[in-house]
Amino acid sequence: MDKVTLEIRCGNAAFENFPEDEVGRILRNLANNIEKGGLGDAPCIQSLIDRNGNVVGQVNIT
């Protein structure tokens, strides 16, 4: 792994009341996946999903 690029779009209902909680939840899920090796070998692109099941961004690992 050389570089991790991450984008989260916070413009939908999952972020309305407590956006920091939803961003934190998404980042914790991502960290757990990375620690478990769940992203596979680099290069890798994975969608980031909000609590409502919507794709709100992606992480790109190279």
Strand-pair partners of 45: 60
Residue 57 has pLDDT above 80, yes or no: yes
The tens digit of pLDDT for each residue in 2-17 reads: 899 999 999 999 999 9
Tally the domains of the chain.
1
Q: Output the DSSP codes for 8-61.
A: E---SGGGSS-HHHHHHHHHHHHHHHHHTTTT-SSSEEEEEE-TTS-EEEEEEE
Confidence grade of residue 30 (pLDDT, cut at 50, 70, 90): very high
Residue 25's CB: how many other CB atoms inside 10 A? 14
Residue 26 domain boundaries: 4-61
The order of strands in the sheet holding 44-49 is: 4-8, 55-61, 44-49
Residue pair 46/33 in contact by the 8 Å Cβ criterion: yes
